[in-house]
Amino acid sequence: MITSLRNASEDASDAKVADVKALFDTHVNDGKVVLVVEGPDDKEVYEKVTDAASVCIYVDCNCEKHFVILDALNSRYARRLLAIKDADFDRLEGKRHSYPNLVLTDTHDMEGMIVGGCLTGLVGDDAERCRSVNLGDIYSELTDVSYLKWFNHQNHCGINFSEVALGLDMTAYFNACVANTDNVICVTLADVDAFKRAHPDVSEKELCNGHDILERIYVRAKAVKVANFAKKPFFRRLRRAYPAEKFVSTQLFKDIKKWETVNGYAVLAV
């Protein structure tokens, strides 16, 4: 393994590319598909629907690294290399990717794709807390926040949303995000409102970030009972509640099956 890692590092200038090449060069992975996903949460879900004997899942922590990895390794490993990318705003913007071994989530991201099944799969106290959660209401209340994030993405404003508590008061939330951003933001909420009017009737499932959806579910679930209710463990239980058999109804499942047929390698266990 050490030798493989060293060889990979010599052959690939990018660390992520070297990591994936090392996986292919390790004998324990002979004949396996390397499945590249964006984050550890994605890995936890995709492990439920893939065949561990046939697949090695690699987390690159950045969808832009998907393209770096595919560009570097497709000439040699394309038939055993598959990447799942969160669609993000790609469909809303008409963006297409030319990689035959890159597939997209059905909605904006993995969490948004599975959240309905997660809610119905909850048991015990979690199920009781989430009994009255209505996803339609959550999509509606996240509309303005989601348009702000889409506007930021399309116009490359560089607004930093990380570590800012999600809020539905748009003025307060916008100001907090701008204050959290190092560069000068020459944007107003009026600009965002104009952008929203120019892009009406878009798919709420393509627009809304799955992490924001989980945040709003948590707010509702926490309000049901006055008791300690930790967020991260709840999110983990929520993802784990996703029934693997629900995955077969997704377009992502169909796209992976098509890739399996074309390349002759197994990926899915459902």
- φ, ψ of residue 165 to 5 degrees: the values are -60, 130
CB atoms within 10 A of CB 218: 21
Classify the C-alpha dihedral 259-263-269-270 as positive or negative: positive
Classify the C-alpha dihedral 47-50-53-54 as positive or negative: negative
pLDDT (0 to 100) of residue 9: 43
- The pLDDT mean for the chain works out to 94
Amino acid (one-letter) located at 267: V
Percent of the chain with pLDDT over 90: 91
- φ, ψ of residue 247 to 5 degrees: the values are -65, -25
Give me the helix-helix angle, 231-240 and 110-121, nearest 10°. Answer: 80
pTM recorded for the entire structure: 0.92
Which residues in 239-264 are b (16+ Cβ under 10 Å) and which e?
Answer: bebbebebbeebebbebbeebbeebe
Q: Which two tokens stand for residue 265?
A: 């390698």
pLDDT (0 to 100) of residue 5: 42
Query: Binning pLDDT at 50, 70 and 90, where does residue 6 land?
Result: very low
- φ, ψ of residue 104 to 5 degrees: the values are -110, 155
DSSP secondary structure letters along 206-269: HHS-HHHHHHHHHHHHHHHSSS---HHHHHHHHHHTS-GGGGGGSHHHHHHHHHHHHHT---B-
Over the stretch 168-209, which tens digit does the pLDDT of each residue have? 999 999 999 999 999 888 999 999 999 999 999 999 999 999
Nearest to 256 by CA among 84, 31, 61: 84
pLDDT (0 to 100) of residue 185: 87
- φ, ψ of residue 268 to 5 degrees: the values are -90, 150
CA distance 70 to 34: 11
pLDDT (0 to 100) of residue 133: 97
pLDDT (0 to 100) of residue 156: 94
For the cut 70, the answer to whether the pLDDT of residue 29 exceeds it is yes
> Domain spans of the chain?
2-106+250-263, 111-243
pLDDT (0 to 100) of residue 184: 86
Helix (H) or strand (E) holding 253: helix 251-263
Residue 34, classed as helix, strand or coil, is strand
Q: What is the mean pLDDT of residues 60-69?
A: 94
